[in-house]
Structure 1
Amino acid sequence: MKTFEKGKLRVWYDEALLSVPPEQCFDVGFWQQQERIVGQASGRGTTWFIQLDNVQGALRHYRRGGLFGKLVRDHYLFCQWDKTRSYQEFQILNHLRQAGVNVPRPIAARAVKKHVCYQADLITEKVPNARDLVTILQENTLRDEMYVKIGREIRKMHDAQVNHTDLNIHNILIDDRERVWIIDFDKCGVDFSQDWKSGNIQRLLRSFKKEQSKHNIFFSEHSWQLLVSGYLPQVKE
């Protein structure tokens, strides 16, 4: 990881993936001038998909949600640079990749200090040819072995001691090679206690049930038991 420092700006980046000046890579106008915007997605804000030299990146500006987010859209209280949300998510993704978990490669993270607050942005690799579980399950059922794979990937994340505080089926992707990916690690962290892990799993179950009620996704108790069987430690004979 390289660091670019200038005044109240910090950018942390992977120089193997980013060949443009780090101070410019979060400027959507810059990418538009280069004709490298290849798509966008709307959620809490707009995620811009940009064509880098060898991969596609997803550029996201950090925004608050909920009622407080209507009052303070995108400012966070500054404590120190390595406590900013962009830096921490960048580091969590690197940690998980080193642990063998399928998560997007972090490309660059930015924090800009504004008085006692800061604003933040992140560029990660866009997972190629992948769709989230909600989209997939609205169309068809998943094969049994895919639920087992999902459970195993979550187990790998938990074995790396990462608490995904928003583990839901929007944040689980499957690509065209049937690999399972986990995304969106904002506000997540390494936690060496154990009591949060069952809460993660129960949150995921609630997500399945919510989307089953809301979007009539294909899901059953049998599907859940398969996922749990993949998550549980394998007993060696």
Structure 2
Amino acid sequence: MRYRQIKVSGASVLFDSELIGEDCEQLFDLDWLAAHSQGARLERGKAVMFRYRDRDMVFKQYHRGGLVRHVAQRAYLYSRLRNTRMWREFRVLSRMREMGLPVPRPVAARCVSVPPLVYRGALITERIANARTVADLLTQRRLTNDEWQQLGTLIARFHLKGVYHADLNANNIMLDDSGRFYLIDFDKGEIREDLARRDADANVARLQRSLLKLRRKLPVFHYADEDWPLLEDAYRKAVAAAGGKLGSRVAEQV
């Protein structure tokens, strides 16, 4: 069985046995990570890059947002292990890769139950080689017309598979050196039986808002008003070519 689950030192760990073994608990140790990631600090919302067994990997610790973070920054209400955020993201990524969608490969997820009702944890994924976020890329150059169109078509491809990205923004889209786009960070993401049109449209609108926000915020950001219609038109054409239906698929268990 490729995906294995073990309990180590009171923690549950789900991992890809093709990539790592039962010693994977060490990858979640903060001292080990600091030693293997050039001393990177584990900060809220920041991914930590490290190398293990000749593979580049990314460590992400789950943090609470909003006012509740001042009380329990890394703890969440616990119901069942399969419903924890790291378990769900691991399985959503795994299922999307089976569907042929360009997302990071999940490596391991770790969850620690904190009695009586909370938990904390982290997720490790394989790093996408030679890739930069669209947000970072646009500080250096404009995307070509073809790249905007490719991105619109790709987002439609996810939506047609029923995939809902809870935070689609310019920092969660990557482009590698070969010209291939990827979507990342599927915390709270879902694969739905029926992805409603309004939710698909909200995903696309969220991306547009993030581009406009970055343009206002950064001194140099190569995003122009005429770029957006290229993405939007490609997205609409891809949906129309598929019969204009979103979510017309069998529900995936994640």
**So what's the TM-score if we normalise by structure 1?**
0.91
- The 5 Å alignment of 1:133-144 reads 133-144=134-145
Amino acid across the alignment from 1:213? R
1:132, 1:169 within 8 Å by CA — same for their partners in 2?
A: yes
2:108, 2:124 within 8 Å by CA — same for their partners in 1?
A: yes
- Cα distance in 1 for residues equivalent to 2:215 and 2:41: 23
- Cα distance in 1 for residues equivalent to 2:21 and 2:8: 18
Residues 73-129 of structure 1: CA distance to partner in whole angstroms, max 9, x if unpaired?
Answer: 000000000000000000111111112211110000011101011011100011111
- The 5 Å alignment of 1:5-84 reads 5-6=7-8, 8-19=10-21, 21-31=23-33, 36-37=36-37, 40=40, 44-84=44-84
Indicate yes or no: 2:252 matched with 1:232. Answer: no
Most deviating of 83-92 and 64-73: 64-73
- Cα distance in 1 for residues equivalent to 2:180 and 2:39: 23
- Cα distance in 2 for residues equivalent to 1:15 and 1:142: 38
Q: Name 1:162's counterpart in structure 2.
A: 163
Most deviating of 44-53 and 90-99: 44-53
Amino acid across the alignment from 1:2? R
What is the CA distance between 1:40 and its match in structure 2? 4.0
Q: Name 2:225's counterpart in structure 1.
A: 221
Stretches of structure 1 that go unaligned for 5 or more consecutive residues are: none
Q: Name 1:200's counterpart in structure 2.
A: 203
1:112, 1:120 within 8 Å by CA — same for their partners in 2?
A: yes
Stretches of structure 2 that go unaligned for 5 or more consecutive residues are: 243-254
2:164, 2:195 within 8 Å by CA — same for their partners in 1?
A: no
- Cα distance in 2 for residues equivalent to 1:69 and 1:30: 25
> Residues 38 and 11 (structure 1 numbering): CA distance in 2 closer, same or farther, change over 3 Å?
same
What is the CA distance between 1:41 and its match in structure 2? 7.4
1:10 is paired with a residue of what secondary structure?
strand
**So what's the TM-score if we normalise by structure 2?**
0.85
> Residues 38 and 177 (structure 1 numbering): CA distance in 2 closer, same or farther, change over 3 Å?
farther
2:64 is paired with a residue of what secondary structure?
coil
What is the CA distance between 1:211 and its match in structure 2? 0.8
2:171 is paired with a residue of what secondary structure?
helix
* Aligned structure 1 segments of 4 or more residues deviating by more than 6 angstroms: none
Residues 171-229 of structure 1: CA distance to partner in whole angstroms, max 9, x if unpaired?
Answer: 11111111111111111112223131011111111111111111141122321111112
Q: Name 2:4's counterpart in structure 1.
A: 2
Residues 39-65 of structure 1: CA distance to partner in whole angstroms, max 9, x if unpaired?
Answer: 747762543212121421111111112
- Cα distance in 1 for residues equivalent to 2:167 and 2:187: 9
Instruction: Kindly report the root-mean-square deviation, in angstroms, between the aligned alpha carbons of the 2 structures.
Output: 2.0
> Residues 15 and 41 (structure 1 numbering): CA distance in 2 closer, same or farther, change over 3 Å?
same
